[in-house]
Amino acid sequence: MIPNLLFAGRLNREYILPVDGTPILDRAGGSPLYAAGAAATWEKEIALLARVGEDYPRQWLENFKKYGINTEGVQIIPGPLDLRSFRAYDKERELSRSNPVRHFVQRKLTFPKALLGYRPLEKREKLNVERHPATPLVTEIPADYLQSKALHIAPLDFKSQGLLLTTFRATSVDIITLDPLPQYMNSGRLQDLRLFLDGLTAFMPSEEELRQLFWGETHDLWEMAEALGEFGCQNILIKRGKSGQLLYDAQAKKRWELPAYASRVADPTGAGDAFCGGFLAGLQQRGDPLRAAAQGNVSASLSMEGSGPFYPTEVLPGLAQARLDAMIGMIREI
């Protein structure tokens, strides 16, 4: 299968304490899966590029196929692989990724044996220089995937993202978007990013990551976006959580502000990834970055109203399109 949309990154096994409700213990997750699940609202023929261990539930991979997601590019490597990811949200929806024992005790919940010995991924290794064994390898990419129409690279270590970019730039893939890893978004990497951004379709950092990258240089987000545009990136999209997104079209030199679509929040996990998935689907379909950003915005709003990577595909028929029509009318050019 030649995918319309390909999502590359690390899958994980989620353990989540939501603001309210029952704890989520061992569910399929990860940035590329949330992005692919959101994209499935708009597009078909989607594929994943990832690696898992022999202990990863095969039934999960079968379930992905029910949503039109091809898993030929999910390599199963020998032995077990620790893909655990813990998140806890307080009443203000602030996120904590560490010390799961404390969070379970505070909520008077039984601590799951599956989380014994858990340490946040960023504390287990130096992510900005080391490749995690779950990171996809360019040598394992199925031949059909190299002919994909559009690719999104989810957060990975700097070198691995660079290798994926180099590989796919040598193919016929027209659209490539990239979400950076927070650990390498610092001022020392600014010039190195020229290699990533030259010719990139869209760079999609969060506001916090972008401010970290330009620390000591400027406080103006538009100045930051313009500087990255000068490196050769066509579109800079800044994810701002509750404040929505900013889009800078470097070719047209235009700026737009998208407010967050007002919706209830049941579980914010993966909302930023859902935005990336909706954006890629929209850009592949129409080639219009502004409309694509609106689709990403709507995807994020749908994702947060429920829980899990595929919740956006389970909403009422027509809801996504109705929100998209409304969102287009709320966009403001700066």
pLDDT of residue 90: 84
pLDDT of residue 87: 95
User: Can you tell me the distance from the alpha carbon of 200 to that of 271, in angstroms, rounded to the nearest whole number?
Assistant: 22
pLDDT of residue 92: 75
pLDDT score of 141 more than 50 = yes
pLDDT of residue 151: 98
Kind and range of the H or E run holding 161: helix 158-169
pLDDT of residue 289: 97
Question: Looking at residues 101-120, what average pLDDT do you find?
Answer: 92
Tokens at 331, concatenated: 């966009």
Give the three-state DSSP class for 334.
coil
Task: Name the fold adopted by 5-12+29-82+131-333.
Answer: UDP-N-acetylmuramoyl-L-alanine:D-glutamate ligase (3.40.1190)
Phi, psi for 105 (deg, rounded to 5):
-65, -45
User: Can you tell me the distance from the alpha carbon of 184 to that of 127, in angstroms, rounded to the nearest whole number?
Assistant: 8
User: Can you tell me the distance from the alpha carbon of 150 to that of 164, in angstroms, rounded to the nearest whole number?
Assistant: 13
User: Can you tell me the distance from the alpha carbon of 42 to that of 194, in angstroms, rounded to the nearest whole number?
Assistant: 32
Confidence of residue 124 (pLDDT cuts 50, 70, 90): very low
Q: Read off the DSSP letter of residue 20.
A: S
Confidence of residue 46 (pLDDT cuts 50, 70, 90): very high
Return the half-sphere exposure (C-beta side, CA atoms, 13 A cut-off) of residue 217.
Answer: 16
Kind and range of the H or E run holding 14: strand 12-17
**pTM greater than 0.85 (yes/no):** yes
The rounded percent of the chain whose pLDDT value lies above 70 is: 97
Question: Looking at residues 1-30, what average pLDDT do you find?
Answer: 94
- Range name among 41-55, 110-124, 224-238 with the lowest pLDDT average: 110-124
pLDDT of residue 122: 61
Contacts of 238 (CB under 8 A, 6+ apart): 205, 206, 207, 210, 221, 225, 245, 246, 247, 248
Domains of the chain, by residue range, sit at 5-12+29-82+131-333
pLDDT score of 295 more than 70 = yes
pLDDT of residue 161: 97
Confidence of residue 317 (pLDDT cuts 50, 70, 90): confident
pLDDT of residue 129: 56
What single string gives the DSSP state of each residue in 199-251? Answer: T-SEE--BHHHHHHHTTTT-S-HHHHHHHHHTTT-SEEEEE-GGG-EEEEETT
pLDDT of residue 125: 46
Phi, psi for 156 (deg, rounded to 5):
-145, 170
pLDDT score of 89 more than 80 = yes
pLDDT in tens, 58-85: 999 999 999 999 999 999 999 999 999 9
User: Can you tell me the distance from the alpha carbon of 145 to that of 143, in angstroms, rounded to the nearest whole number?
Assistant: 5
User: Can you tell me the distance from the alpha carbon of 113 to that of 104, in angstroms, rounded to the nearest whole number?
Assistant: 12
pLDDT in tens, 232-288: 999 999 999 999 999 999 999 999 999 999 888 889 999 999 999 999 999 999 999
pLDDT score of 227 more than 60 = yes
Question: Looking at residues 296-308, what average pLDDT do you find?
Answer: 96
pLDDT in tens, 175-217: 999 999 999 999 999 999 998 999 999 999 999 999 999 999 9
pLDDT top residue among 24 and 131:
24
User: How much is the mean pLDDT over the chain?
Assistant: 94
